[in-house]
């Protein structure tokens, strides 16, 4: 990993994905035209901060290997 690489892609203006229980929009979306090398079969895509910032809160649970996005602000209490 690392370094510069060039890939042939198809670009589409917008795609909406369900990520962590919430719809997020990737715009524009760049889709690889060919599958990567055998060693990269685990690679399905990259998530950037542009998608995660669409949620109010992001929870990454490394024990269960899950990602949860929530768009509703948590209720404020006196201690917040």
Give residue-wise pLDDT tens across range 9-56: 899 999 999 988 899 999 999 888 877 666 656 666 777 888 899 999
Give residue-wise pLDDT tens across range 64-79: 999 999 988 766 555 5
Q: What pTM did the predictor assign?
A: 0.64
Closest CA to 51 of 20, 7, 9: 20
User: What pLDDT, on a 0 to 100 scale, did the predictor assign at position 58?
Assistant: 92
Q: How is the chain split into domains, by residue range?
A: 9-32+47-70
Instruction: Look at residue 49 and give its three-state secondary structure.
Output: helix
Neighbours of 58 (CB within 10 A): 17
User: What pLDDT, on a 0 to 100 scale, did the predictor assign at position 1?
Assistant: 54
């Amino acid at each position: 990993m690392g370094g510069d690489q060039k890939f042939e892609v198809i670009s589409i203006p917008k795609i909406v994905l369900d990520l962590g229980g919430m719809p997020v929009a990737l715009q524009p979306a760049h889709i690889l035209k060919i599958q990567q090398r055998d060693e990269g079969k685990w690679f399905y895509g990259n998530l950037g901060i542009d998608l995660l910032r669409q949620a109010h809160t992001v929870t990454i649970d490394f024990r269960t290997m899950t990602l949860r996005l929530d768009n509703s602000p948590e209720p404020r209490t006196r201690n917040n």
